[in-house]
């Protein structure tokens, strides 16, 4: 095993619609099930046209997973079956542990500007699928940013970098979730846990994530990296900004039905039956 991770697979997102008609790019999802364990899905939403997002995601259930919403521009209003509500704005992150079940809605707010951000789904192991739901709403001001000598910027949303811990706590997947900007002609490296899944998604500029590959990873492209204890990224003629996402695989069976992810078909059928009968919330 090489210490420095290489690109195992390049993943390009697919344009799709979700919710009540939100136009988005699904970077990975159902077709990559298991490859990115414990991560299930990553959506990228970005548009200047309110018609692409204003319909939002009306009331819907979740069970057995965590959803992570990271807003870079615009606002998203959320409320749920437990009486929680709030607004996510620029740079805010929400890590929602659905656990045993939650019904919520996420509605973008048209303020004349752009809507831009990401939603990640993280699987929960069987031992934690029915835990009590909870939210971690983190305002942008509580997200630490590490600036290195070469002007590389690392926003630490979850996990730890250079002794700086992100504000999201007590997540089963032991995740890293970084928003990283590498200026042109600069390099970034970081230690990662061997055996953990590591994925990068470039959303601005281009960078080299594998010294053996001639072509850079460009904006709109993601890469699953091989195993190893370190990552190294170079920017040359252009800067690169990307998400770095890593976590501990669960390696359990997955029964996936829309917004609910369990371990067996029977558990999935039970969840949907409870939703229909009004006994979903525990």
- How does DSSP assign 57-103, residue by residue? EEEEEEBSEEEEEEEEESEEEEEETTS-EEEE-TT-EEEEE-TT-EE
Nearest to 6 by CA among 210, 172, 206: 210
Cα torsion 157, 161, 163, 165 to 10°: value is 10
Nearest to 91 by CA among 143, 18, 165, 16: 143
Range from 21-30, 117-126, 262-271 carrying the lowest mean pLDDT: 21-30
Number of domains in the chain: 1
pLDDT for the residue numbered 112: 67
Q: Specify the CATH number for the domain of residue 201.
A: 2.60.120.10
Q: Across all residues in the chain, what is the average pLDDT?
A: 94
pLDDT for the residue numbered 228: 97
- The stretch 137-154 carries a mean pLDDT of 97
pLDDT band at 32 (very low <50, low <70, confident <90, very high): confident
Residue 12: inside a domain? yes
Write down the pTM of the prediction.
0.95
Residue 155: inside a domain? yes
Which residues, in sequence order, are CB contacts of 177 under 8 Å at separation 6+?
68, 70, 120, 157, 158, 159, 166, 168, 243, 244, 245
Residue 1: inside a domain? no
pLDDT band at 162 (very low <50, low <70, confident <90, very high): very high
> Which H/E stretch holds residue 174?
none
pLDDT for the residue numbered 31: 72
pLDDT band at 30 (very low <50, low <70, confident <90, very high): confident
Range of the domain at 187: 7-277
Residue 273: inside a domain? yes
- The stretch 126-143 carries a mean pLDDT of 95
């Amino acid at each position: 095993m090489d210490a420095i991770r290489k690109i195992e697979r390049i993943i390009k997102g697919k344009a799709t619609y979700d919710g009540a008609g939100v136009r988005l790019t699904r970077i990975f999802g159902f077709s990559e099930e298991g490859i990115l364990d414990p991560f299930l899905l990553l959506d990228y939403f970005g548009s200047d046209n309110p018609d692409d997002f204003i319909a939002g995601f009306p009331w819907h259930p979740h069970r057995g997973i965590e959803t992570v919403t990271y807003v870079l521009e615009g606002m998203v209003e959320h409320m749920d079956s437990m009486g929680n509500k709030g607004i996510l704005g620029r740079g805010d992150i929400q890590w929602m542990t659905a656990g045993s079940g939650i019904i919520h809605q996420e509605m973008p707010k048209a303020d004349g500007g752009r809507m831009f951000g990401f939603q990640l789904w993280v699987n929960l192991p069987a031992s934690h699928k029915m835990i009590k739901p909870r939210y971690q709403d983190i305002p942008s001001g509580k997200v630490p940013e590490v600036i290195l000598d070469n002007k590389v910027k690392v926003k630490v949303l979850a996990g730890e970098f250079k002794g700086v811990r992100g504000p999201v706590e007590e997540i089963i997947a032991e995740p890293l979730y970084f928003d990283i900007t590498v200026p042109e002609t600069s390099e970034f490296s970081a230690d990662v846990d061997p055996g953990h899944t590591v994925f990068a998604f470039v959303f601005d500029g281009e960078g080299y994530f594998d010294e053996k590959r001639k072509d850079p990873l460009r904006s709109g492209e993601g890469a699953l990296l091989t195993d190893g204890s370190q990552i190294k990224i170079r920017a040359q003629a252009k800067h690169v900004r990307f998400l770095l996402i890593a976590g501990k695989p669960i390696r359990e069976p997955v029964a996936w039905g829309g917004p609910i992810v369990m371990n067996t078909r029977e558990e999935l059928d039970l969840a949907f039956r409870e939703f229909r009968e009004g006994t979903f919330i525990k």
